[in-house]
Structure 1
């Protein structure tokens, strides 16, 4: 095989990786339009009062969307346009401006979702930034991870730490879009660019995003009267091979992202990244399922939690 033929094959492999990843995540990428009465406080993301625009991505099929906190800051009206062209009014579930993460929700269901990855990023790894800049369908820029654990300290803006640095081009309209690996799995969320640094881009890592989701979910899922399992989490799709091995009929479970110190879950030795699949024998596919069951329990009642850890199915009894 000649050098030119090998180069062509390498280019084809690269192109295939980029196009495949983009096609996998593209349907879950959304455009976010904002109406606001005042400009965002942050000097890193200059935007005048009036209208704003950003990107986001659906992470739960019931209409939950991730984006940057600065995209929706001071918004009095938020609308979300899906990849299929439908537009919905959106509500703000919660946000953490310190790490530039916000969660929205729209009144739609059975939506395509972006898969959240689990792998550890490595410097030099291929990544794609996908967004909906300026309302132009979804667009893709490819590059590599340049560094991990970067700090961004811009005068007039909150200091941000533990960021992913990439050489993928990011423009203001891409803010809030997913950063994905070659398999189309989300590994971060684009948050900032340095205009004078030739396209240097920064993204919030997935671990930080999950921590924000856990905090927001835990506050929303606290049952009346203080009855709570003491966990925050999100719905995840169960591995097909694991489902066959364990003979599970359900396709989703609830991954634990946060465990409250000294709470029932911690006392029962549940841990982050455990996946709850049942409570008292009732299947759990998402946090709302667990919340509903916990609400039916009184103080000091026990609840049996079935969960997955390390490829094995386990059970514990938690005292609420």
Structure 2
């Protein structure tokens, strides 16, 4: 209450205003005077208050706008009194939520960013550009979870000096591991690294009327999705003059440099691979045409991949035994092979006093030679992997550059089975694909 309202209130309630000769009750007058004095004291105290306090009592427009934009306060009730606590903004909440999601097996920030990409862009990350000496030969589809590349055989020509350019621009050396002349299919095996992002197989009919089908084309080192028309299934003549049943006839023109590209459906899953064949003409030579090798033919092709058509196994180059000391458990190195990645990283073998004990591979504890071998096999040739060691009672860390084993049989000791994976969701469509 300010001085003006206080004076108005005093005039309205003063006993002298009741009229001349009106009886005066001294007790109420005293009470009224005490109230007036108290109110005047409050007014004077407000006038003498600090500028900050007055600003707090009467905020300016900017402060009011900031208050309007601030988060609503959190109200707490305590002993019948309401206490207002300003809301706090937790700047680390997003990071903690992301960390918690990762710890629970949820998608990481990186995976969520990829999941937000359009279907065409996600699928394009599973397409490689096949080159020789820097010249583009065709395209290929990386098998999801496998790293090997499915492509067309005809553009590869003679020789095996091939490289694959991946979505991030890196190139890896590849070798021809398996081929089928009839369906014009080839499987290329990368010799270093392992590309994690690949494509899966579709179980949908690619020539249905409502299908929205796309393939891929390369320009200036980049892969982009392009619409493509599929007409029907028909018989064509493949390599070695073999009859191809239910090859997919195309209604779009295809560049020779796009052979080997996957043809995908609306969900980015593979329905066919672009190859080269010949359309029969009655009484005339056949006409060279591009066609789509269907999933049925691709599945049969991948089932015949030989055991040797696998990526080289990563090699560390040591022999060791399980050992437990008073402070740690690991694999004590007994022998370091000459010219091995372990020798280049200066690992020490021999007796217990002078040798290294490997405790972990890339942060994964290893307590037996078998566990150490399994940990190394999870990495690819060409990767730099940190090893945690215990040497002479002291911990140290070294980085090894993994290479292929010198014995070719070690690289092909086990055939994981080439396969264009089916859709991840289980169900009748998946079971039909596997039959």
Where on the TM-score scale, by shorter chain, does this alignment land: which range?
Answer: 0.5 to 0.7
Check conservation: 1:141, 1:168, Cα contact below 8 A.
no
Aligned ranges for residues 1-320 of structure 1 at < 5 Å? Answer: 20-34=118-132, 53-106=137-190, 107-124=192-209, 125-132=211-218, 135-152=220-237, 158-159=241-242, 161-162=244-245, 163-192=247-276, 201-217=290-306, 234=419, 236=421, 239-240=424-425, 273=434
TM-score normalised over the length of structure 1? 0.54
Cα RMSD between the aligned structures?
3.7
Give the CA deviation at 1:85: 0.2
Distance 2:226 2:290 in 1: 11
Distance 2:426 2:242 in 1: 42
Count of aligned pairs: 202
Check conservation: 1:123, 1:144, Cα contact below 8 A.
no
Give the structure 1 partner of residue 325 of structure 2: none
Check conservation: 1:59, 1:66, Cα contact below 8 A.
yes
TM-score normalised over the length of structure 2? 0.40
Go from structure 1 to structure 2 and tell me whether the alpha carbon gap of 1:83 and 1:158 turns closer, same or farther (over 3 Å shift): farther
Distance 2:295 2:271 in 1: 5
Go from structure 1 to structure 2 and tell me whether the alpha carbon gap of 1:82 and 1:52 turns closer, same or farther (over 3 Å shift): closer
Structure 1 residue runs without a partner (length 5+): 1-18, 36-49, 195-199, 225-230, 243-254, 257-270, 275-320
Check conservation: 1:170, 1:192, Cα contact below 8 A.
no
Q: Name the SS of the counterpart of 1:76 in structure 2.
A: coil
Check conservation: 2:146, 2:418, Cα contact below 8 A.
no
Structure 2 residue runs without a partner (length 5+): 1-116, 279-288, 311-408, 410-415
Go from structure 1 to structure 2 and tell me whether the alpha carbon gap of 1:150 and 1:62 turns closer, same or farther (over 3 Å shift): same
Q: Which has the higher strand share?
A: 1
Q: Name the SS of the counterpart of 1:66 in structure 2.
A: strand
Q: Name the SS of the counterpart of 1:25 in structure 2.
A: helix
CA deviation string 1:110-129 (max 9, x = no partner): 52101111223334332111
Q: Name the SS of the counterpart of 1:182 in structure 2.
A: coil
Higher relative contact order (CA 8 A, sep 6+): 1
CA deviation string 1:163-210 (max 9, x = no partner): 11122331011010100111111000011389xxxxx75211111111
